[in-house]
Chains A and B, each alone.
Chain A
Amino acid sequence: MIRFADIPVGSGGETRCSRCHGESGEVSYRPAAEIAAEIAMVCELWDELPGPNVALTGADPFGHPDLPALVGAAVEAGCRRLCLATDAVALRSPQNAGGSLMAGVRHLRWTILGGTPGVHDVLVGTPGALDLSVEGVRSFLSIASEETIPVSVTAVVPVCRHNVHDLPAAAGLAVDAGADRVLLRLDDGGLDLPAALPWIVAACDTGVVNGVWVEVEGVPFCLLPGYDLHLADAVRQRPGAKPPVCSECALDAVCGGAPAGASADQLATLAPPVSAERLSVSVLRARGMGER
């Protein structure tokens, strides 16, 4: 519900599944002056409350030589919530963690590919990466708590066929590390969605019973009966109403939209004789995400 403007500080080196995306490209950063000007413009034009809110994304901002100046520029421009999208490894250093907090960083978008080294480390291709990353988040949170600075950490998990079975563990790890939200973001057109759903559902439940919210991005609400609240804002809708994503679906003309809390059986009656499983194939095809 709180909107951020994403401003890339560079490209390459993002935490993504190496099996899906291959080697991460060369890291390059944009000039600080250019980024600062963009931040200033976003803040100036920001027209809804609460805000302005800016997230520095793309290549890890901690690799940018002028990060302190960029954070300063954001605060100067009136940014209320400044977020860094990072693997958090750099935050292990108390100077980085304390420095960014003192300068005004309040949000982290912390990307992990799984909840266990067997998945995360293997997929990023760096042994020990997950432990270092968790250490970074903990260091940020512990300094924030010592200084009584309110902060918020979202663990972002790009979901693909290689990590889907590790989603509940990822939610558990995010809870352990102190995140207050988990975002499962579909990142694989070839994912067997019906087979993935039980893992997604288990991750949602793992979060809820531990008091951490799990949000799912990229799954149409007809596929997650009973879990519609977990769907990202753009998709979550009043029962019966259809979100924009439906307009891309092959069944849009015949489907009346899913009632909240509908079971798979009830869904099958929405556009008879389509079963929940065939529905998902159709949705995926319609959204250009390929067939299973």
Chain B
Amino acid sequence: MATPPLRCAMLALNSPGYRSLALGYLRAYAQADRRLAGRVAFETLDLDTDVDPWWVAWRVLGLEPDVLAISVTCWNARSVYEVCRIVAAVRPECAIVLGGPEVGPAAEEVLAAHPEVGVVVRGEGELTFADLLAELAGGGKAWRVDGITLRRSGSIVATPDRALVANLDDLPSPYLTGVLIPVDGGAYLETFRGCPHRCAYCFEGKGYGRIRSFSDERIAAEIEFVATAPGVRTFSFIDPVFNLTGERLRMLASLMSPYVANGMRLHTIEVDIERIDDEAAELLRSAGVASVETGPQTIGADALEACHRPFRADRFAAGIDALRRAGISCECDLIVGLPGDDVYDFLAGLRFVLRLDPGKIQSSTLHVLPGTELWERAAELGLEFDREPSHEVIATPGVGFRDLRRAEVFASSLQSAYRARV
């Protein structure tokens, strides 16, 4: 009698309106893996963060999974751990596998704190996850899989790091394979992995080191698929810098322009604002970009230095002006609680962006994220933060606990007043 397939439930708790691109990639790759054909059955649960963990567990347990694979981020981790505890209590035979930016860089710590979790996948997950499933489906040895941290004979062990995927085109597209169905406003594409910058608080680059890009053909095929999907009027790109190079921006603009002519728009594209002149703004406009998101995060000299961020006020302002002339709205982001800043630096930052009248101002509190330089250097820099997710900063040498909370409230009231306009 044939062995029944391994039942693999894949879970993500997303911001409302979003679907997990990570699960899309993982499943698209695993489904295409011949070793797993007919041996693993997949079911994806793309739920919103506001679903109660007990009901999430209810949905998971209803699938009677042998493997529960969860994508973990700082905003969903607390719920995820609760789901894991409930699932493990009801179905102890289910192997729980975690991956994602929240757990990969702190794999050992996560396993030590959460005995119900069996395996943490570190870094890029597609190949590792498929290998792991192949081992689990064959009753084999998970410790033979590179890129994971797991329990073995009562201790926590890390297998060797896995090399990055050399050619990103080897990863099947979640959209083109039908694994992810594009939804209006919530579909987002990735054209490269890695980030050219090394900002100390950020994990966008995920320690991948170098930048790897999908081919122009692959990017074109995904754009065509999403831009012509029924009901989709807007979508986005998750690239950390959309205007990575002038040449690339021209390529994206020319790929997008036929759909832009039919009303397709891109929202919240992240750009390096200091490199935007009238020509770049025009290219963004022809790529259908309606709004962009950018820094400065801070304008305090000490914090800029501590975070390795270049900042030229005049070039920043010129970028915003160029966007305005092209009719593109800009969201300026500021972070309160960066090392080196005091609360007056933060207020100066707010005043700076306000005077540029960018369209939207978004301030957030520093999250000291696993895998970032600030996570590593927190003690040295005197950053007190919550070790539990979402790792918000509690106090810094420059801003005490109460002033941090005040700054948050002040900024949110200012944002409302700024937004309220004709």
Give me the interface of A with B, judged by CB distance under 8 Å. 1-2, 48-50, 75, 79-82, 104, 106-107, 150-152, 154, 180-181, 207-208, 211-213, 226, 229-230, 236, 238-239, 260-261
- A-B contacts, 21 of them at CB < 8 A, read A1-B350, A49-B355, A49-B356, A50-B355, A107-B417, A150-B416, A150-B421, A152-B416, A154-B417, A180-B412, A181-B413, A181-B417, A207-B409, A208-B406, A211-B409, A212-B409, A213-B412, A213-B414, A229-B407, A260-B343, A260-B344
Given A1-B350, A49-B355, A50-B354, check contact A213 B410 (CB 8 Å).
Answer: yes
State the CA gap A236–B413 with chains docked (Å): 17
Q: Which residues of B contact A226 (CB under 8 A)?
A: 402
A81 touches which of B342, B347, B400, B420 (Cβ 8 Å):
B420
A2 close to B403 (CB less than 8 A)? no
State the CA gap A229–B412 with chains docked (Å): 14
Interface check B405, CB cutoff 8 A:
yes
Q: How far is the CB of A70 from the nearest CB of chain B, in Å?
A: 14
Give me the interface of B with A, judged by CB distance under 8 Å. 342-344, 347, 350-351, 354-357, 400, 402-403, 405-407, 409-410, 412-414, 416-422
B412 touches which of A211, A236, A238, A260 (Cβ 8 Å):
A211
State the CA gap A261–B419 with chains docked (Å): 31
Q: Which residues of A contact B407 (CB under 8 A)?
A: 229
**16 other A-B residue contacts (CB within 8 Å) besides A1-B354, A79-B422, A82-B422:** A48-B355, A49-B354, A50-B357, A50-B421, A75-B422, A104-B422, A106-B422, A107-B417, A150-B420, A150-B421, A151-B420, A180-B413, A208-B409, A213-B409, A229-B410, A238-B344
Considering only CB atoms, which chain A residue lies closest to B417 in the complex? A152
Considering only CB atoms, which chain A residue lies closest to B348 in the complex? A238
Q: Which residues of B contact A104 (CB under 8 A)?
A: 422
Given A82-B422, A238-B344, check contact A180 B406 (CB 8 Å).
Answer: no
Q: Which residues of B contact A181 (CB under 8 A)?
A: 413, 416-417
State the CA gap A49–B324 with chains docked (Å): 13
B418 close to A2 (CB less than 8 A)? yes
Considering only CB atoms, which chain B residue lies closest to A237 in the complex? B344
A150 touches which of B350, B351, B406, B419 (Cβ 8 Å):
B419
Q: Find the residue from B409, B410, B418, B420 having the highest chain A CB count within 10 A.
A: B420
Considering only CB atoms, which chain B residue lies closest to A108 in the complex? B420
A152 close to B420 (CB less than 8 A)? yes
Q: How far is the CB of B328 from the nearest CB of chain A, in Å?
A: 16
Given A213-B410, A213-B413, A229-B403, check contact A1 B351 (CB 8 Å).
Answer: yes
A2 close to B354 (CB less than 8 A)? yes
B355 close to A106 (CB less than 8 A)? no
Q: How far is the CB of B321 from the nearest CB of chain A, in Å?
A: 10
State the CA gap A101–B349 with chains docked (Å): 31
B400 close to A261 (CB less than 8 A)? yes
Q: Which residues of B contact A238 (CB under 8 A)?
A: 344
A1 close to B400 (CB less than 8 A)? no
B422 touches which of A49, A80, A230 (Cβ 8 Å):
A80
State the CA gap A134–B167 with chains docked (Å): 62
State the CA gap A181–B412 with chains docked (Å): 10
**7 residue pairs, one from A and one from B, having the closest CB atoms:** A213-B413, A49-B357, A152-B420, A106-B420, A50-B357, A150-B419, A152-B417
B343 touches which of A106, A154, A213, A229 (Cβ 8 Å):
A229
Q: How far is the CB of B103 from the nearest CB of chain A, in Å?
A: 31
Q: Which residues of B contact A261 (CB under 8 A)?
A: 400, 403
State the CA gap A206–B89 with chains docked (Å): 43
B350 close to A230 (CB less than 8 A)? no
Q: How far is the CB of B413 from the nearest CB of chain A, in Å?
A: 4
Considering only CB atoms, which chain B residue lies closest to A50 in the complex? B357
Q: How far is the CB of B299 from the nearest CB of chain A, in Å?
A: 14
Q: Which residues of B contact A50 (CB under 8 A)?
A: 354-355, 357, 418, 421
Q: Find the residue from A152, A226, A230 having the highest chain B CB count within 10 A.
A: A152
Q: Which residues of B contact A230 (CB under 8 A)?
A: 406
Considering only CB atoms, which chain A residue lies closest to B411 in the complex? A213
B422 close to A180 (CB less than 8 A)? no
Q: How far is the CB of B396 from the nearest CB of chain A, in Å?
A: 14
State the CA gap A281–B421 with chains docked (Å): 42
Q: How far is the CB of A32 from the nearest CB of chain B, in Å?
A: 20
Q: How far is the CB of B14 from the nearest CB of chain A, in Å?
A: 23
Q: Which residues of B contact A150 (CB under 8 A)?
A: 416, 419-421
State the CA gap A151–B417 with chains docked (Å): 7
State the CA gap A196–B410 with chains docked (Å): 23
Q: How far is the CB of A98 from the nearest CB of chain B, in Å?
A: 16
B422 close to A2 (CB less than 8 A)? no
Q: How far is the CB of A283 from the nearest CB of chain B, in Å?
A: 23
A180 touches which of B347, B350, B351, B416 (Cβ 8 Å):
B416
State the CA gap A79–B412 with chains docked (Å): 23
Q: Which residues of A contact B400 (CB under 8 A)?
A: 261
B413 touches which of A107, A212, A239 (Cβ 8 Å):
A212
Q: Which residues of A contact B417 (CB under 8 A)?
A: 2, 81, 107, 152, 154, 180-181
Considering only CB atoms, which chain A residue lies closest to B345 in the complex? A238
Q: How far is the CB of B207 from the nearest CB of chain A, in Å?
A: 36
A106 close to B421 (CB less than 8 A)? yes
Q: Which residues of B contact A211 (CB under 8 A)?
A: 409, 412
Given A1-B414, A229-B407, check contact A107 B350 (CB 8 Å).
Answer: no
